[in-house]
Structures are given as C-alpha cells and as structure tokens.
Chain A
Amino acid sequence: MTHRSAKDPAPVLALRDISKSFGAVRALRDVSLDLFPGEVHALAGENGAGKSTLIKTLAGVHRPDTGRVLLDGEPTVFTGPADARDAGIAVIYQEPTLFPDLSIAENIFMGRQPRRALGRIDHRATRAATAALMRRLGVALDPDRPARGLSIADQQIVEIAKALSFDARVLIMDEPTAALTGSEVARLFGVVRTLRDQGAAVLFISHRLEEIFRICGRVTTLRDGALISSEPLEGMTEEDLVRRMVGRDLDELYPKQEVAAGPVALSVRRLTREGVFTDVSFDVRCGEIVGLAGLVGAGRTEVARAVFGVDRWDAGEVEVAGRALTNGAPSTAMAAGLALVPEDRRAQGLVMDLSIERNIGLTGLRTTVRAGLMDRGAERSRSLDWAVKLQVKYARMADTVATLSGGNQQKVVLAKWLATGPSVLIVDEPTRGIDVGTKAEVHRLLSQLAADGVAVLMISSDLPEILGMADRVLVMHEGRLTAEIPGSEATEETVMAAATGRAAA
C-alpha cells in the first residue's frame, strides 16, 4: 500500500502541537501530523472535528495560535496562501473558490499564468494547458467557458484541475469527491496514484469511508479538535475507523423500515426541458423512498428543480396528490406540501450571514408569523428542536451559519426543509459532506418520515446509500430515465449499467 521507503523518513510537511481557536470554539488542540513524500494520507473525523481548519493552517489561510509548521524539517511561518503555494503546496478547499466572471482557464491559472516576452500572459498556452488538464481528468469542459453556472461537480473538477496544475509536492484535498460519482472519482484516484508514485505527498479528506480505504495508506483521526490517532490503514476495518471518529460503535448505517406504499403522492408525466431532460415520467407513493441515481450531469438535479418550480419545464405535467402544479412556481409547490433540499447549499440553501436559528426558521415564516409579527419564540424552539435532532455542532444558535463547518451547514439546510413538515420531500444529495454518524441519523430520519407517510424522492451519487435506502431506484442517463428497478433487485451492477447507458442493449 504505502510507497514510502523506510530509508526516507523525513516528512515534507509536518504540524507540531498546533492549536487554533475561533473565539470560544477550540477548533484544534495540540494536533501533530506528518506528511511523507509518496504517501496518500487520510484525515478523518466527524463534521466540525477540525479537518478543514487543519488544512487551512497548512495552506497559510489560518495562523495557528500555538505550535509550529515544519517544511522539510525547517520551522516555517506561512503569512498567507501565496507562501504555501510557493512552497509547493496545492490545496482544494471544501467550498469551491472560483471566479464566476472568468473563464475556466483563467480560474485554473490565476496568479501564475504562462508568460510571453515582457511578462505578458500567454493566453494560448494557458488554454492549451487547461485543455490538457481536462483530458487528464477525462472531462469535456471548454477552457473558455466562464465558471458562472457550472454545476457543483464541474466546479469541483475545475478545483481539482487547478490543484493538479501546480506540480505540487504536497496536494491537500478537502472532500474533493463529495460532488462526484463513481467514474469521476476513479479518474481522480488514477491521477492521485500517479502523483503519489512520482513522490508527492497527498492529504485526503472524505466522509466516504470506502474511498479512504481505496486510496490511502495512513489515516489521522480527529475528534473535537483533538488528535485521536495516526496509523497505517492496513489491517483496519471500517468499524475501527468509525470508532476512532465518533468514539463509539455505530448503529446501522441504513436503518430502512419496510412500509406498505400508499396512494400516489407525486406524479410526474412526460416532463421535458429542452436540452436538459426529456420525457421523464415517474410516481412516488406515500411511504416510499424512491432513489434517483445517475452520473453527474445526467439531469437529476434539473428534474428536481423543475418539479419544485425553480426552473420552468417546456412540456409535461407534475401533480401532487392529484392536483396539478403550476409551471415555474415554487410557492404553489410549497403550498401543495412539496419540499426540496437543494444540492448547492451555499448558493441556494443558506443565508450565510444569518444565524443558524433564523436560517432554519426561514421556511417556517408562514407558520411562525402571528398577526403580521414574527413569533421569535416559536421560531427559536422549533429551530433548536431540529438542530438537536440532526446533531448540528454549533457554539450558539445565534452564530452566523458562515462559522459552521461544511457538514454542519449541510445539516442546517436539511433542518430548514424538514421543519416545513412536507408531504412530498425531494432531497438532492442529502448526505453529501455529512459524517458517518450523522449519515445514519439522516437515513433514520428519512426512513421515519416515509413510515409517517411522506413520499421521499432521494437523489444521490452515493450508490450504497441508494441501494441501502430506496424502495425503488430510478436511473437517469443523459437526460432520460433509463431504468426503474425495484429495491430488492437493485445492485451496483444493474444501476451502473443503466446509468452509463449500457442497459439499453
């Protein structure tokens, strides 16, 4: 597994007794970490454990309160991201950091474009290098296309391309695969292995444990900002890793209850949005969890958005409990009992500068407004209720959502929509970026909702999740529904075959 030779034990990059606090929150306490050349090192921990804070310290974004950063054994102080970059450290941050107005090529090479005479930018070379990177990652993104409007997965790809373009000695990746499906992940791992074999050190964060076991040689676990262990993965089981992360044994990850399906709650007929998806028809019954699988870009999110009324559809119809919904009107959809948990939490799900409490309360405005005034007390207790149910890790409910860790922001979005008490719930990647412990909790919650008669449509790129939770699996490929598989017959092979268009034969 590990390609680290025993003769070369000097870490390229190391942290010694690093502590970092944000106000009263102690995000890191006396954490040490060694990164060796030629290894892929996993960083594991629950949401809010301090993983992102740790990598931001390595990247020069945060200055540690105490402790030292060692580069090639020498104590080093990074005064900013530029310092870390110049030291050969490339970072993919958890949240995409793109310039929406600039082209993909410019996004990738900003600040270090290839130059011609007199320091002028060589636009041709920039574009060519971008195209080469895209080929290496096996994606068809036009280097000249602006970053605005890219799907989350494509944004992630651009981030990955950016990091690869560095020829870095240290590559740090904070949940790079969260938005990706199997084939893109495989591609990324291929590239990572090549880099590792060329002697780069890679630090990898993911909440998908199977990915950690697939690509990493060692793992460092954090819990509540403290270092739990740093050890080889060989000989470890998923259970061992989970125990290190959460400090206890985990309940079942897919606690699906069997529920007899009721009447049709959501009915979608021949729905078409030109150039995006075509002739999509399906039903979701009360008490059912229907999984919607497919590759990134298959049009799953787009269907969900159209059903909910965020985007308009060109043809077809949508009915909730037998009543037709108006095209392009989310408010009527919400009134009919539909709720959509969107995939892009930062852009569509949250008001980053509002408190946790207010964010969860936003969708409930109608019920918590009394005589035209907001009933803050009701909002507060309801929000708190959901925050506790989903184990959101926060200092105070009045803190802004921007201070939460990525996974905890995701939980707030979930809470916000679950708080509406919907009769039809569409969840787009409900557990993206959520740690295993809470993942089980979210699954238990979805299962409970279904048992209570809610119709659930679950879009997910996490195949085990689809297989573990869905009563029925719908598969999309290039904008069309290619398969409908009963939960009992769905396997990795049948779903993937339909998702890649191989089932048609």
Chain B
Amino acid sequence: MTVTAPGEAPATEIPESSSTRLVDRVFRMRELAILLVLLVMIGVTQLGNSEFLSEQGIKDLLLNATILVLVATGQSLVVITKNVDLSVGSTLGISAFATGTYLQGGGNPVVAVALAVLLGVGFGLLNGLLVSLGQVPALVVTLGTLYVIRGIDSIWVGSRQITAADLPDGFVDFGSGGISAVPWLALIALAVLMATAYYLKHFGSGRELYALGSNPEAARLAGIPVRRRILLAYTFCGALAGLAGALYLARFGNVDSGTGTGYELTVVSAVVVGGVVFTGGSGSVYGAALGALLLTSVNSVLPALGVSSVWVLAINGFLLILAIAVDRIVALRVATALKKRNARHG
C-alpha cells in the first residue's frame, strides 16, 4: 500500500498547465456539445413562443427532467462497468406504488421515501448478485428481472390505482412546489447528481468502476474486487430507481400497475446520448444528466412550437444515432491525435 515518494527529484515539472489533459478535455467537450444543442433548441423555441421560458415553463422543464436525471445517474454507474440495468422501469413502478400504499394508510412521507429507496436497494442487490455471480450477460439477466418485477407488481396491484386524493396534501405540494422556478424535486436530483459525480472522481471505488468497465481482465489482475464493485453499481442504480419512484408519485400523484413501463429505454437513451459509452469505462454522470435533460426537453419543445408530439420518438431516436455517430468520430480523431503525439515521444 506504500507509494514511492517522488523523493529523488523535485516534482516541479508535472505537465499540468503546459500539456493538455486530454482525457478530461474530451469528456468535457462531449458535455459542452450536448449543452450547446440543448441551449440552441431552447433558444429557438423561445423565439417561436415567448411563453416557453416563463417561470412555469422553466419549472415544468425541470420537473419533467428530474426523474429521468435520477434514474439515468444510477444507470450511468452500471453502464460504466460495461453492464446495463433494464429493470429500472419496473423498480420505479413498484416502489412508486409501494410508497403510495404506505402513505394511503397514513404513513410518514419521509419514511415512505426511505421505504422506496430500500425497495430499490433490494432489487439492485438482486440484479447485482445475478450479474456478478452468474456468467450471464447483464442484458439477459436484467431483462429477466424487468419482467419478474413487473409481474409481481401486476399481481400485487391488479387494477387498483392511487391518485393524488389518496395522498397527504403535504406530499403532493412538495412534488409540485419549489423556490420560484426551481422545484424541490430538481434540487434533490441535483444534489444526488453532484454527490455521485464527486464520488466517481474522488474515491478509489468510484475510479475502480471505470477501471473494470475499461478492461475487466486487467481489473481482476490489479486486485480490484470486481464482484463487489458490480454489486455496488447495481445497488446504487436500484436505490436511485426506488427514490425516483417515490418522487414520481409526488410529482404525478397517480400510479397504477403500468407505471414506468418502457422507461428503461428512455433511460438508456439518455445515458448514451449523454456520452456514457456502452462498451464501458468512460463517460460521466453529468453527461448522462444532460442527455436526460435534452430528451425530456424535446417533449416540451415540440408542443410549444406547435409540432405534433408524434414526432417525439423519431427525434429521440435521431438524437441517439447522432450521439453515437459523434462519439465514433471523436474517438477516431482522438486516436489519430494520440498516435501523432506518440510518434514524437522517444
């Protein structure tokens, strides 16, 4: 565990300012690009419809994005390890309903949210165990749990429904309230996002998630506890899906057995559009969050411009393909740049 102290020579010539920190720069470039697309899109919409960026308009934009941002943050961790969690939609649905049932019986809202998170943790652990112990691809395992959890949800919920009228007023108000244009829910998502990003950058186990996604075999040889880390990623992803379920209930006040169906695809799109590469090892949660913001904004932008919302899916698909194409081109250019740098070294 010791580290050789740079004793022999003063560590003055660390190439920090002079040399470009290429890894970071590429990531940042990627995030800036999405931000730019987002701003342009919102700007154009605002020009076409000056109501769009009213206080309520901004609030709606943020509220819509919140839940997707949360789930995408969790999903990013899993995708960084070269895996995927398709069961997030089901987890969100069942935890939303569980929260609702508990509140309906007069439960405490804080306990209710904790309950939702715990439920998510449980499903995350299940996924993590199956993926890290079995030699089965994550895609298949979590496709299985997607159906299993949805099945349990359907049997339990049946045709019941929870509406805002069944919930405590405070809970529903919290779901739509906030400080002027900024909803409480968005603040929660932002806090989770920043904490996760900080963790990934500054803690050993966070970096190890990148390492094992980048080269699983090398991670094993480096003594990284691969299974524990995969378990961690899935548990965290499940926890955020659970939390998102509770917030979904607060926001919409309406859940049934179909809540969250198909959500996993939106989440995965957001993550990929945000530059978290499916082959593992790269990307950031900020990127994923921007991806989520971009995808949900398309939903709000089209009606504001008077375009039929049937276009939403097509546009989401287009963004996805565009993102992948951009990633590919950037990767090739970086590779060329690196090769040229190589050649100059002795």
Contacts and interface: CB of A to CB of B under 8 A. Distances in A.
A101 B342 contact: no
Contacts of A140: 345-346
Contacts of B223: 80-83, 85-86, 111
Interface in B194-251: 202-204, 207-208, 210-211, 213-215, 217-225
Contact of B211 (A91, A99, A142, A274): A99
Interface in B64-80: none
Contacts, number: 166
B224 A110 contact: yes
B80 to A, nearest CB: 9
Contacts of B9: 132, 135
Given A99-B210, A99-B215, A297-B342, A167 B203 contact: no
B70 to A, nearest CB: 24
Among B4, B8, B24, B221, max chain A CB count under 10 A is at: B221
A131 B224 contact: no
Contacts of B134: none
A325 to B, nearest CB: 21
Given A102-B23, A131-B15, A97 B342 contact: no
Contacts of A119: 203-204
B4 A132 contact: yes
Interface stretch (B154-162, B176-184, B332-340): B332-340
B346 A295 contact: yes
Interface in B307-339: 334-335, 338-339
A166 B4 CA distance: 7
B343 interface: yes
Contact of B6 (A81, A91, A129, A302): A129
A54 to B, nearest CB: 16
Interface string A91-133: 1010001111111001001111111000111011101110111
A275 interface: yes
Which label, helix, strand, loop or mixed, suits the secondary structure of the A interface? loop
Contacts of B217: 97
A127 to B, nearest CB: 6
A131 B5 CA distance: 11
B345 A139 contact: yes
Interface stretch (A147-155, A202-210, A328-336, A466-474): A147-155
Interface string A316-336: 000000000000000000000
Nearest to A184: B346
Contacts of B215: 97-100
B342 A128 contact: no
Contact of B208 (A111, A274, A296, A479): A111
Contacts of B218: 97-99
Given A145-B341, A148-B335, A167-B4, A131 B14 contact: yes
B214 A141 contact: no
A77 B14 CA distance: 40
B207 A106 contact: yes
A192 to B, nearest CB: 15
Contact of B21 (A100, A113, A144, A479): A144
A337 interface: no
Contacts of B1: 86, 112
Contacts of A93: 221
B345 A133 contact: no
Contact of A81 (B210, B221, B340): B221
A93 B222 CA distance: 11
Nearest to B199: A120
Contacts of A83: 223
Nearest to B80: A101
A109 B222 CA distance: 10
A299 interface: yes
B15 A165 contact: no
Interface string A164-205: 111100000000000000000000000000000000000000
Interface residues of A, number: 66
B338 A277 contact: no
Contacts of A166: 2
A165 to B, nearest CB: 6
B343 A302 contact: yes
Nearest to B220: A81
A38 interface: no
A232 interface: no
B224 A142 contact: no
Interface string A413-441: 00000000000000000000000000000
B11 interface: yes
B30 to A, nearest CB: 13
B3 interface: yes
Contacts of A453: none
A170 to B, nearest CB: 14
B207 A113 contact: yes
Contacts of B11: 128-129, 131-132
Most buried by B among A100, A128, A164: A128
Contacts of B341: 142, 145
A139 B4 contact: no
A132 B6 contact: yes
A372 to B, nearest CB: 32
Contacts of A112: 1, 3
A121 B204 contact: yes
B207 to A, nearest CB: 6
Contacts of B213: 101
Contacts of B208: 110-111
A98 B29 CA distance: 24
B335 A149 contact: yes
A165 B4 contact: yes
B22 interface: yes
Interface string A273-303: 0111100000000000000000111010010
A143 B343 contact: no
Contacts of B203: 119-121
A-B complex: 5 closest residue pairs judged by Cβ atoms: A82-B223, A132-B6, A149-B338, A97-B218, A101-B281
8 contacts: A99-B281, A101-B281, A110-B207, A110-B208, A135-B8, A143-B15, A149-B342, A275-B340
Interface of A: 59, 61, 80-83, 85-86, 91, 93, 97-103, 106, 109-115, 119-121, 123-125, 127-129, 131-133, 135-136, 139-146, 148-151, 154, 164-167, 274-277, 295-297, 299, 302, 479
Given A100-B281, A120-B202, A295-B346, 7 more contacts: A82-B225, A85-B223, A101-B214, A102-B207, A128-B11, A132-B4, A142-B341
